[in-house]
Structure 1
Amino acid sequence: MLATTLFLSMLMLLLMGVPIAFAVAGAALLAMVLLLPSMPLVLVPMSMFNGMDSFPMMAIPFFVLAGELMNRGGISMQLVRFSQSLVGHVRGGLGHTNVVANAIMSSISGSALANIAAVGRVMIPAMREEGYDRSFAASITIGASLLGPIIPPSITMVIFAVTANQSVGALFLAGILPGVIICTGMMGLVYVRSRRRRYGTITPFSLRRVGREFRRSFLALLMPVIILGGIFGGIMTPTEAAAVAAFYALVVSMLIYRSISLADIWQVALSTTKTTSFIMLVIGAARVFSDVMLSEGVPGQIAGAMLSLSENPVILLLLINLLLLIVGFVMDTTAAIIILVPVLMPVAIQLGIDPVSFGVLMSINLVIGMATPPVGVALFLGSEVSGLRVEQLAGPVALVILVHIATLLLVSFVPAVSLWLPEIFGY
């Protein structure tokens, strides 16, 4: 009864257009009033605060700030030029450049939306001018931007690590190889489509050009080295690495590239505050929802019900993936992680799934929802940047999502894909 009330009321509020944080918290509050009158309402603000009061969570505003500084500082253009020098000579060169630039930006921002805003505004017009179909250019941008929550430093992985009490470093490492597979798959898709439609011109490869663009973008490329090297070298915690990344981005943008003025800092701070506030509000609301479920043992009941459906682990794993995909269609990634980890982690453990591998599996499932209606924030931002209606992007984006689904199945049934690097580094 409690689980039904919680999830149905949350779904109804979402369908009414209520913001995700208020829908989640409102559903929990309604369940407390109607079904748990003995539970004091003062637990709501306490639970929200406890959800946000975590040292690893401090990495989120720092990573958001670093991404904002890099985007506004025009550093994304340097990365695009370097990417083009590497892969611009292959058929569909600008499409490959789009994918590679998004991958590099992902290793800096940890956010899909930051990637679309930075790379999409540069690459979609450039691809259009060279004869690429605009919907194809936009769909490649949207699909490649989803690397942000998968490869380090992923904000999504930080949230999962805190919720599931896992190592942030292990999850960062676990996302690298799946991210490379997605990147490779998308470049293969670009190549096949470009050969069929004769997209783009082929320019000779120049090692001298690669060296020149590398020198120009060296300071931007150094940021992921600082972040990941500091974490995996045992020099910094992920939170400390995020703070160093934000400071480094500020110094590079203001003093070296001189692309940000003091007047721009206010806009950067404002945008960072808005994004961080939204994430933290969702985290706090989802923690209330999760605590209400835990107080009545709902996760154990749901886990038992799922395990009773079948004894076949393959079928159960497919059911978990299907559930996560559906949830990703209608719920924000942050809220979904905090609410569903207590529910699905017991099932995953009984199936013998490593918690770190499950974190990657869950992240890929949920980020696919960012590119699908009705809550597809990456899809809507891609529509805005490209100037196309959402329905015009539906078909091309669906084709790109197949690459992510293929990678998801690989991660699900071949755990070594996500666990190989963590095991090498001793996590």
Structure 2
Amino acid sequence: MIVSLAILPLLLLAVGTPVFLVFLTAVAATMMFVLPLPPVALQQVMFGGLDNYALLAIPFFVFAGELMNTSGIAIRLINWAMAMVGRVPGSLGVATVGASTAIGAISGSSVAAVAALGKTLYPKLVASGYGRERAGGLIAASGAIDIVIPPSIAMILYGLAAEQSIPKLFMAGVLPALLMAAMMGGYIIFVGWRESIPSEASFEPRVAWQATRDAFWALLMPVFVLGGIYLGLFSPTEAGGFACVYAIVVAMFIYRTMTLRDIIHAAGNAAMLSGQILIIVAAASVITWILTTQGVPQAIIEWINALQLDALTFLLVVNVVLLVMGCFLDPTSAILVFAPLLVPIAISLGIDPIHFGIIMTVNLAIGMFTPPFGLNIFVAQSVTGLPAHSLYRGVMPFTIVLVLALLIITYMPALSLTLGSGL
């Protein structure tokens, strides 16, 4: 079973096989040659893995992100962030991080943020003296915040895999996401001061007020969505549906930047992306089922207990493993495979599963822009035209900054647990 579920997937990933096919091939080989299981079990478990009401939140939030990009709401958020930063060293880079955080608070999609920022801010960053590599690296790395700040698709999946409260996970992600943004912003200010990168225009109340007016309805969207969840007015799934309706109403009747044709186009893009996510969910559910029925989680727990690792050492090992795996697997796949295995061990060591979910999410968010297969790198490459090796160099300083943020988040549980303690 080690060959079919461990070695075979690694070989398939090495040759560029799509992740869902990696999972299905590994499972099919295991069922045919290792375990006496009927083939029909593969189909039953796949469809059973999708039979969860909370999964409906994923296509809703993906659609909301597509509507935001198509209607120009993302551009308004970018302009608002630029107007609010004012005259600090490297102000345009700080505005890039702020804009990414604001976009993530609406869509929960790292890819959507990187695409929007790349098209709008990359030329300005290069012209401001950041250089092509650093500008591309900043755009690819800033999208990592969008996976952590609520509403987060990765946290929805973790909540399902680990059987944890999604509203609590959303609330737990707020302070860690802001810490990541603050540390990236601080690094950019330091680089801007050291290398004399010119700042943009100084803060002007009139300009800031105008930008806030233009982005007002866009800025209200996360307030309504997250406020509704935390006040108990609707579930995360219903919040996703509300976000879609809200985006359509604002884009069509307030900003008047979207037509019915645009909505249909955004729906098509959202359907494609949702399909890619959900087929991975279905395939990963079969691997989780096989591992669980064969007692693998229990065996791992016993092995960890035999090593007599304390909680702090265990978290350090988990961080190293997930940082490495994040270089090869997307967050969806990694969460669905590793959460069922690692969460029981974390609980047995006294680690809060909500805090552990944030640790997993931040790890895999960093993996979104680390070589060789970070998805944000490929998206940034397509919108900036930079070669992959240039982006690899550009993201390295931000990788170091966010790994430091990860260590703070890991060993300061209060960052993750304070806000959600009353839920």
Query: What range is the shorter-chain TM-score in?
Result: over 0.9
Deviation at 1:49, TM superposition (A): 1.0
Residue 53 of structure 1 corresponds to 51
Residue 16 of structure 1 pairs with residue 18 of structure 2: no
TM alignment of 1:252-263, pairs within 5 A = 252-263=250-261
Structure 1 residues 42, 179: CA separation in 2 closer, same or farther (over 3 Å shift)?
Answer: same
CA distance in 2: counterparts of 1:208 and 1:140, whole angstroms = 29
CA distance in 2: counterparts of 1:126 and 1:12, whole angstroms = 41
Deviation at 1:88, TM superposition (A): 3.1
Residue 199 of structure 1 corresponds to 197
Unmatched segments (≥5 aa) in structure 1? none
Residue 396 of structure 1 pairs with residue 372 of structure 2: no
Q: Is contact 2:136–2:380 with CA below 8 Å preserved after alignment? A: yes
Partner of 1:149: helix, strand, or coil? Answer: helix
Residue 340 of structure 2 corresponds to 342
Residue 38 of structure 2 corresponds to 40
CA distance in 2: counterparts of 1:257 and 1:366, whole angstroms = 35
TM alignment of 1:215-226, pairs within 5 A = 215-226=213-224
Partner of 2:419: helix, strand, or coil? Answer: helix
Deviation at 1:373, TM superposition (A): 2.3
Deviation at 1:389, TM superposition (A): 1.0
Q: How many residues align?
A: 423
Per-residue deviation, residues 112-148 of structure 1 (Å, max 9, x unmatched): 1010111221011111222321211111111111111
TM alignment of 1:282-293, pairs within 5 A = 282-293=280-291
Deviation at 1:78, TM superposition (A): 0.8
Per-residue deviation, residues 160-210 of structure 1 (Å, max 9, x unmatched): 001111111000011100000000001111101111111123422212221
Q: Is contact 1:307–1:316 with CA below 8 Å preserved after alignment? A: no
Residue 118 of structure 1 pairs with residue 123 of structure 2: no
Deviation at 1:5, TM superposition (A): 2.7
Q: Is contact 2:310–2:349 with CA below 8 Å preserved after alignment? A: no
Considering only aligned residues, what root-mean-square deviation do their CA atoms show, in Å?
A: 1.3
Deviation at 1:233, TM superposition (A): 1.1
Partner of 1:393: helix, strand, or coil? Answer: helix
CA distance in 2: counterparts of 1:46 and 1:13, whole angstroms = 24
Residue 26 of structure 2 corresponds to 27
CA distance in 2: counterparts of 1:149 and 1:201, whole angstroms = 28
Partner of 1:170: helix, strand, or coil? Answer: helix
TM alignment of 1:227-376, pairs within 5 A = 227-376=225-374
Q: Is contact 2:86–2:204 with CA below 8 Å preserved after alignment? A: no
CA distance in 1: counterparts of 2:92 and 2:207, whole angstroms = 16
CA distance in 1: counterparts of 2:112 and 2:41, whole angstroms = 35
Amino-acid identity (%): 37
Per-residue deviation, residues 287-333 of structure 1 (Å, max 9, x unmatched): 00110111100111123223333434322221111111121111121
CA distance in 2: counterparts of 1:59 and 1:250, whole angstroms = 17
TM-score, normalised relative to structure 1: 0.96
Which of 383, 386, 405 matches 1:385? 383
Deviation at 1:77, TM superposition (A): 1.3
Q: Is contact 1:3–1:298 with CA below 8 Å preserved after alignment? A: no
Q: Is contact 1:64–1:276 with CA below 8 Å preserved after alignment? A: yes
Partner of 1:244: helix, strand, or coil? Answer: helix
Unmatched segments (≥5 aa) in structure 2? none
Per-residue deviation, residues 30-73 of structure 1 (Å, max 9, x unmatched): 11111112x11111111111111111110000000000000011
Q: Is contact 1:157–1:363 with CA below 8 Å preserved after alignment? A: yes
Per-residue deviation, residues 253-286 of structure 1 (Å, max 9, x unmatched): 1222121222222221110010000000000000
Letter in 2 for 1:11: L
